[in-house]
Structure 1
């Protein structure tokens, strides 16, 4: 089983959208049952809360239900439990790398970069924006999800652990 953790700031906008897109794309692929996805935030301000209502509405427009997700803060055991910790932006990446034990640092990456969508690419925070910003984020994370399925299918087929 390959396990992915998507990380943003508060775990109510970008990372739940990415989690939903990844889960949907994986479920519709030969990887179903072979890859698990979760999300977390670098901060704990929203712990226990559902995703932002605009994120829920955005995902719903694309046929994905994220309303049952609940925000949580990244925790030390995540570095052991997950094969990859995929960050929304450079600030999240820096924060996660600061928390990561040395042995886990090579498994922390930017989501868009890791997926092969945009080298060094960052997913902008739509929190202070409107519907258009959430749609832009959805397009980015869904493209990453499609590319991630391809990457994981190739690496799992070749027997490489951790993709």
Structure 2
């Protein structure tokens, strides 16, 4: 029997955005005293078993977040059952998740940025092919949405 709320962050390859979200959210949930199950995954199998992108790890570490123990994995069908929140980083990954999701779990699948209040974006943009500022933007957006989700979880 599951006793903790479980949250899964999902992007395409699980090496930039979703591991950043996992690391940031884990640190902020711990600081808030919340006991949660937190994980991340990718909709594609490009990087299974790999550590997060070195740029994501470096930028996260500069803000005090540790991504070093994470390894990429692909989203699995049983994740819909296992997690209470399945949070996509963008519309493309949201659509992939929605197409695969059984009707009884559709309420769990959302954009992570639905919880943001300061960023003015509905997605966490993929920084993979860009410069350093993209990784900082991801952290800004993820911190914003993490704070909003923590506020929701505290109310519940």
Q: TM-score range by the shorter chain?
A: over 0.9
Length-normalised TM-score, structure 2: 0.94
Distance across 2 between alignment mates of 1:101 and 1:154: 27
Match of 1:23 in 2: 26
| 1:11 lines up with 2:23 in the alignment | no
Q: Could you give the per-residue CA deviations for residues 31-62 of structure 1, whole angstroms, max 9, x where no partner exists? A: 1xx21110000001100000000000011001
| 1:88 lines up with 2:120 in the alignment | no
Match of 2:103 in 1: 102
**How much is the aligned-residue C-alpha RMSD, in angstroms?**
1.3
Please say if residues 110 and 120 of structure 1, whose CA atoms lie closer than 8 Å, have aligned partners that are also in contact: no
Runs of 4+ aligned structure 1 residues displaced above 6 Å come to none
Map 1:1-163 onto structure 2 (within 5 A). Answer: 1-31=4-34, 34-113=35-114, 115-117=115-117, 121-155=122-156
In structure 2, runs of 5+ residues without a counterpart are: none
Q: Could you give the per-residue CA deviations for residues 59-85 of structure 1, whole angstroms, max 9, x where no partner exists? A: 100111101100000001100000010
In structure 1, runs of 5+ residues without a counterpart are: 156-163
Length-normalised TM-score, structure 1: 0.90
